[in-house]
Amino acid sequence: MHPSTYKAKAYSAASETSPLASTIIARRDPTERDVQIEILFCGICHSDLHSVRNEWSEFMATNYPIVPGHEIVGRVTRVGSAVTKYKPGELVAVGCMVDSDRTCQNCKRDLEQFCPNMTLTFNSPDKHLGGVTYGGYSDSIVVNEHFVLRLPSNLNIAGVAPLLCAGITTYSPMRHWGVGQGKKVGVVGLGGLGHMGVKFAHAFGARVVVFTTSPNKRDDAMRLGADEAVVSRNADEMKKHAGSFDFILDTVSADHDVNAYINLLGVDGNLTLVGAPAEPLRVPAFGLIVRRRSFSGSSIGGIAETQEMLDFCGKHNITADVEVIPVQKVNEAYERLLKSDVKYRFSIDMASLKSK
Ligand code: NAP
Ligand code: ZN
């Protein structure tokens, strides 16, 4: 039997060529373990844009209408009868997942992001209502308490929202690959993910080099914590770093030459891909063989690690650099995101959804 529902305001796209527009969706009333959240801010991730335009159709086709958004910060408004972690009035956050089976080997290791039965915040089968899940471009959301995060009290919440995806997606692989003092770390692409990657690598004590296609981002890269910024289209600048990196995080959203970065890794160096271009990338065997290099990927992070990341940000005063926009500007924001014209994440002020 389906739980009862209520009406929520949202922004959705009706097809891969439609702009996002105002709509009304059904949300379930909180069941026993659910937390109902009034959404205050939602970041715009490039994954929202890939999904809205069905660019990942081969791997994860989009179901329409789609309500994107998985960088959610809000206030608890109601809780189910068995909820113990949260109370109405508290500030909380939700990231890219809203459910998993909690029993598989991956869930038991706090790696819910790899659970075969994981439910993404949007465009995943909705176990409660049928259809698919609807994300954070909305005035509210209802989520099992296990997938709700606690916010540090000292941070600006518009800038906290992007931590729920851009933050954890860069924090997790850097922790996994031991980024820290004495390590030389590269971050490719200074966008939403990239600028968080720079902040974390710097906070972990590494030497940080940013690779950007945008010469005008050089000064920002240094301000954000880089020790050096390289314009990747300049072959001479690239050559100077050949064979010297311990770890490189690639956040690029479009097709590009990964081999150019594999060549910059030293012995046992690792390049981790978090950017998710629609087309396959070419990786020549010898680029990896010659220095026992590795090439890997990473997807967001588990719930416990996401909480750890938020607590780390509270302690080190880290938030995303955001441009706050009303939801009515979301289509314009997508066009600007494609042109790398945002410093460095859009954060939607959801109060704007209440106005016409
Ligand atoms: P974003 O803000 O648009 O940043 C991407 C950056 O890549 C741009 O700012 C630009 O940096 C660089 N870039 C863009 N087009 C390029 C091109 N043609 N050649 C070289 N560089 C280019 O996007 P984002 O939100 O950070 O997301 C980045 C990617 O990560 C997306 O594909 C997204 O879907 C994916 N993602 C993955 C995960 C995961 O769990 N693995 C999570 C979230 C997002 P410069 O101007 O500095 O060159
Ligand atoms: Zn994302």
**Residue 271 CA: distances (Å) to CA of 128, 200, 218, 249:** 39, 17, 22, 6
Is the pLDDT score of 197 beyond 90? Answer: yes
CA 167 to centroid of ligand 1, rounded, Å: 13
Judge if the beta carbon of residue 300 lies within 6 A of ligand 1.
yes
Is the pLDDT score of 137 beyond 70? Answer: yes
Judge if the beta carbon of residue 190 lies within 6 A of ligand 1.
yes
Is the pLDDT score of 228 beyond 70? Answer: yes
Average pLDDT over residues 207-235: 97
CA pair distance 35, 345, nearest whole angstrom: 27
Give the N- to C-terminal CA distance of the chain in Å, as an integer. Answer: 35
For a mutational test of ligand 1's pocket, the pick from 42, 46, 62, i.e. the residue with the most ligand atoms closer than 8 A to its C-beta, is: 46
The average confidence (pLDDT) of the chain is 97
Quote the DSSP letter at residue 13: B
CA pair distance 320, 74, nearest whole angstrom: 16
pTM of model > 0.85:
yes
DSSP string, 262-329: HTTEEEEEEEEE----SSPPP--HHHHHTTT-EEEE--S--HHHHHHHHHHHHHHT----EEEEEGGG
Residue type for 178, please? G
Judge if the beta carbon of residue 212 lies within 6 A of ligand 1.
yes
What is the per-residue pLDDT for 355?
78
User: pLDDT for 180-196, tens place per residue?
Assistant: 999 999 999 999 999 99
What is the per-residue pLDDT for 229?
98
Short-list 185, 168, 182, CA closest to 270: 185
pLDDT above 90 covers a percentage of the chain that reads 97
Judge if the beta carbon of residue 31 lies within 6 A of ligand 1.
no
Judge if the beta carbon of residue 96 lies within 6 A of ligand 1.
no
Average pLDDT over residues 302-320: 98
Quote the DSSP letter at residue 147: G
What is the per-residue pLDDT for 325?
98
Task: Please name which ligand lies nearest the alpha carbon of 302.
Answer: 1
What is the per-residue pLDDT for 219?
96
Q: Is 151 helix (H, G, I), strand (E, B) or coil?
A: coil
User: pLDDT for 245-291, tens place per residue?
Assistant: 999 999 999 999 999 999 999 999 999 999 999 899 999 999 999 99
Is the pLDDT score of 58 beyond 80? Answer: yes
Task: Please name which ligand lies nearest the alpha carbon of 169.
Answer: 1
Is the pLDDT score of 26 beyond 70? Answer: yes
CA 189 to centroid of ligand 1, rounded, Å: 6
Judge if the beta carbon of residue 193 lies within 6 A of ligand 1.
yes
Is the pLDDT score of 356 beyond 90? Answer: no
Nearest atom (ligand 1) to Cα of 344: 2
Pairing state between β 294-297 and 265-273: parallel
DSSP string, 25-94: EEEEPP-TTEEEEEEEEEE--HHHHHHHTTTTTTTSPPPSSB-----EEEEEEEE-TT--S--TT-EEEE
Q: Are 121 and 133 in contact (CB under 8 A)?
A: yes
User: pLDDT for 328-354, tens place per residue?
Assistant: 999 999 999 999 999 999 999 999 998
Is the pLDDT score of 127 beyond 80? Answer: yes
